[in-house]
Amino acid sequence: MSPRADDETPRRGTSPRRGSSRDLPGEEPEENPRDSRRGRSSIGEARAYTPRGRTVAERGRAPRDSGRSADPFRPALQVLDGGEGGQRTRSRGRTAEPPPQREQPKPRDEAKPREQAKPREQLKPREQPKPRAKTREPEKPRERVRAREPERPRKKAPERRRPVPAEPPRLANSTRRLRLGTVLALSLFVTIGVRLVVLQVATSPEEAASLLELRENRLSSVKLPAPRGSILDRNGNVLAHSVEARYVYADPENEGLQQNIPGTAAKLAPLLGVPQSELAANMQRKQVLGQWTKFRYLDRGVDLGVADQIDSLNLDGIYTHADERRDVPGGDLASNLIGFTGEEGRGLEGLEARYDDLLHGTDGKRVFEVGTGKLNKPIPGGFQQDIEARPGNSLQLTIDQDLQFMVQRVLDAAGKKKNARVGGAVVLDARTGEVLAQASYPLFNAAEPNKVDPIERVDMPSAVVTDPGSSHKAFIFGAALQEGVVKPDELITIGPGIKKGDTTFEDTHPQDKGSRMTLPGLLAFSSNVGTILLADRLGKEKVYEYQQKFGLGKATGEGVPAEAEGDLLEPADWSGSSYGSVPIGHSVSATLIQMAAGYGAIANDGVYIQPHLIKATISGENGAQTPGPTPSTHRVLDANVAQELRLIMESVTTVEHATGLAAQVPGYRVAGKTGTGKLLVNGQYTSNNASSFVGMAPAENPRYVIAVSMDVSSGGGGDVAAPAFSEMMSYVLRQNHVPPSGTKAPEFKIKE
């Protein structure tokens, strides 16, 4: 059947009026520009009916060929209530896709009347399409349309199914591949994360122990010792420092070593100077905390030449590594003060122990991977981690190396001459409180500390306490002058002795009863009676107060470890005899450094300066210097009182038959005081005498204070300590170019 022209008369009556299927009753139809252009209404966007139930698109598409009219009863477009047509199924049996939503036409000016659709008969005939080939093209999905309700109901023809042609193969989708790759990568990461969590959290103790054992068997570590800081004197001279050396160690897990321990020990013994049996014992396998140790020291501080010889032997399981050895150039120079270190390079006594953290620095560590069995050596290219060591800081002291040597030589000679058990000497700068020398007797070599008895390594000036004896009297005279209970030119009436409580206190230079003596006379002859009478005027509270002001009863904090505090008798604890024993220094215990600091206040115009040993610290990384702590100070006496007291104390070294004549220094005026007390050991007094002399020079303007004390079987401070004081003071004055005194000591009146 040939295609029917658009202007043909429908077979079943006149065709219905074409209009927009979207027009609802009572609404004004909108004008579509596309409809105006083609001369038809908007129903052209849908499909039209034919009497046979076929639809023909009104957008100029040619009618279907006769080959498709085999079925004269194709179902008409289903019309729903409201004019909305449902989806029409294609002959393939599939539901057609809904057409894309068209953009709604913009509304036109409402004043312009919309053109009425022309009847079909008035439409301009369209060009007849050319006949198409009989080959059918795949039918396009039919569009959803809106249609008015037909005048009479139409029956739906049975649906015919057409065979579905095979779809062409799909091309590869890059988006799907990317998504799939992302999922796989995330899955891998999640798997690894879960495994790590299981290993770290959910692993059983047995598995964890097994992993640790495997790790320990493959990794070995060696400590990298930090260079220890030096100890220097005030001028930068080395008192103690570390020098480069080697340590020799064995790996007991080395199979080659285990097969020839006796032969290896025999080769090392003469080089290290260690018994062969001791070396062999250190080469044996040993468990430490359940692990077989892979490191055993054979010797420390080995000279570089010896270490090179050991390396040249190429012994299995024997190695050397960088080390350091503490060297003390002066041997016994300031050895009691400086102390010494142990094999591990840590301070054990003295300043080495007190400032160990500052001097030691921070050790480094080398961790490396080793093989097993005969290949028990670092694996080239294997795991290795080095943590660098941080060098320690150096310590600069206020000590003068040359003066320290001189003081030690004089003290050692005096101690041997007097057969002293122990002795000590301190040299202070009166203006700064710096300790210029601090010596002990007997001496020992700090490089060989184990060769002497531990008691001989004690720093006597800071650790040994004694009754200061008569050297304490200068504090009572100063307190009496400061409090105004006595005048410098006053005469004090005394006798041969005085009784306090149940004890009678007598003088070593007894005077007749009723004798009237001056203050210089009382000090020159070290009168116990006159000192007790001055203390009675002060009262026990004032005596105790001035003892504390002069620095007794507490450690000075000069910088040495284990400094003793001494002891004072509080006023509430005084008994009847205490009124006699305390003023003359026999119910008091003090160290030599405390006595030197107290006399320093007299020399410094009445101002106490804390004695100190640390001048500065020097950084081991950049050499920057940091000054030591600022010493504390406080006033004890007025300047004029201190000057009057120094003048009175000169009588001890100038008055005929005075106790301190042996302390004179040619060309210089000297003020000081002798003392004879008792050494306190484990809370008990010894039978020996703690003989001392503490003085200053030049007396008119003191620069230095020296305190000397020795524990001897007999003799007082005047004949035991005073001569040593004189030699030490003479050297320090000349060394520092102190000009001699311009005036002579005054002539003192002793008694009326």
What HEC string does 576-632 produce?
CCHHHHCCCCCCCEECHHHHHHHHHHHHCCCEEECCECEEEEECCCCCCEEECCCCC
Amino acid 654: pLDDT: 96
Pick the CATH number of 221-397 from 3.40.50.970, 3.40.50.1100, 3.90.1310.10, 3.20.20.450: 3.90.1310.10
Query: Of 145-159, 423-437, 604-618, 737-751, where does mean pLDDT reach its minimum?
Result: 145-159
Q: What is the pLDDT of residues 79-118, one digit of tens each?
A: 444 444 444 444 444 444 444 444 444 444 444 444 444 4
pLDDT band at 154 (very low <50, low <70, confident <90, very high): low
Distances (CA, A) of 565 to 462, 492, 510, 588: 9, 34, 34, 11
pTM, to two decimals:
0.68
Amino acid 158: pLDDT: 61
Amino acid 486: pLDDT: 96
CA–CA separation, 521 and 188 (whole Å): 101
Amino acid 499: pLDDT: 94
Query: Of 254-258, 440-444, 537-541, 625-629, where does mean pLDDT reach its minimum?
Result: 254-258
More confident residue, 25 or 670: 670
Radius of gyration of the chain (CA): 57
Tell me: pLDDT of 164 over 60. yes
Average pLDDT for 274-288: 88
What is the sign of the dihedral through the CA atoms of 513, 519, 523 and 529? positive
Query: Of 219-223, 442-446, 708-712, where does mean pLDDT reach its minimum?
Result: 219-223
Tell me: pLDDT of 120 over 50. no
Average pLDDT for 620-632: 93
Question: What is the distance, to the nearest Å, from the Cα of residue 722 to the centroid of all Cα atoms in its chain?
Answer: 50
Q: Work out the burial of residue 107: count CB atoms within 10 Å of its CB; fewer than 13 is exposed, 13-18 middle, 19 or more buried.
A: exposed
CA–CA separation, 434 and 408 (whole Å): 18
Please state the φ and ψ torsions of residue 609, each to the nearest 5 degrees. -120, 130
CA–CA separation, 594 and 596 (whole Å): 5
Tell me: pLDDT of 257 over 60. yes
Contact 96, 87 (CB under 8 A): yes
Please spell the DSSP secondary structure of 654-694, one letter per residue. HSTT-TTGGG-BTTB--EEEEEEE-BEETTEE-SSEEEEEE
Tell me: pLDDT of 343 over 80. no
Long-range contacts of 286-295 (CB under 8 A, 24+ apart): 286/252, 291/216, 292/252, 292/253, 293/252, 293/253, 294/220, 294/251, 294/252, 294/253, 295/220, 295/222, 295/249, 295/250, 295/251
Contact 695, 724 (CB under 8 A): no
Residue located via tokens 């009237």: 516
Question: What is the distance, to the nearest Å, from the Cα of residue 154 to the centroid of all Cα atoms in its chain?
Answer: 98
Amino acid 21: pLDDT: 42
- Joined together, the tokens standing for residue 63 give 């009618």
Pick the CATH number of 403-735 from 3.40.1120.10, 1.10.357.10, 3.40.710.10, 3.30.930.10: 3.40.710.10
Amino acid 253: pLDDT: 85
Average pLDDT for 500-513: 92
| 3-state DSSP assignment of residue 287 | strand
Amino acid 374: pLDDT: 52
Give the domain ranges of the chain: 1-90, 221-397, 403-735
- Joined together, the tokens standing for residue 360 give 């030691």
Q: What angle do CA 265, 270, 273 make, to 5 degrees?
A: 95
Tally of CB atoms within 10 A around 688: 19
Between helix 473-483 and helix 592-603 the angle, nearest 10°, is 40
Average pLDDT for 527-536: 96
Average pLDDT for 588-612: 97
Amino acid 364: pLDDT: 82
Residue % of the chain over a pLDDT of 70: 72
Query: Of 84-93, 721-730, 743-752, where does mean pLDDT reach its minimum?
Result: 84-93
Please state the φ and ψ torsions of residue 278, each to the nearest 5 degrees. -70, -40
Amino acid 223: pLDDT: 72
Tell me: pLDDT of 192 over 60. yes
Average pLDDT for 383-411: 91
Please spell the DSSP secondary structure of 33-88, one letter per residue. HHHHHHTS-GGGGSEE--TTS--EESSSPPPPPGGG-S-TTPPPPPB-GGGBB-PP
Tell me, what DSSP letter sits at residue 424? E
24 CB-near residues (< 8 Å, 6+ apart): 82, 83
Contact 566, 553 (CB under 8 A): yes
Amino acid 373: pLDDT: 54
CA–CA separation, 626 and 615 (whole Å): 9
Tell me: pLDDT of 503 over 60. yes
Please spell the DSSP secondary structure of 311-333, one letter per residue. HHHT-TTEEEEEEEEEE-TTTTT
Amino acid 582: pLDDT: 96
Mean pLDDT of the chain: 80
Contact 556, 599 (CB under 8 A): no
624 CB-near residues (< 8 Å, 6+ apart): 618
Q: What is the pLDDT of residues 325-337, one digit of tens each?
A: 888 999 899 999 9
Average pLDDT for 567-574: 95
Alpha carbon dihedral 200, 206, 212, 214, in 10-degree steps, equals: -120
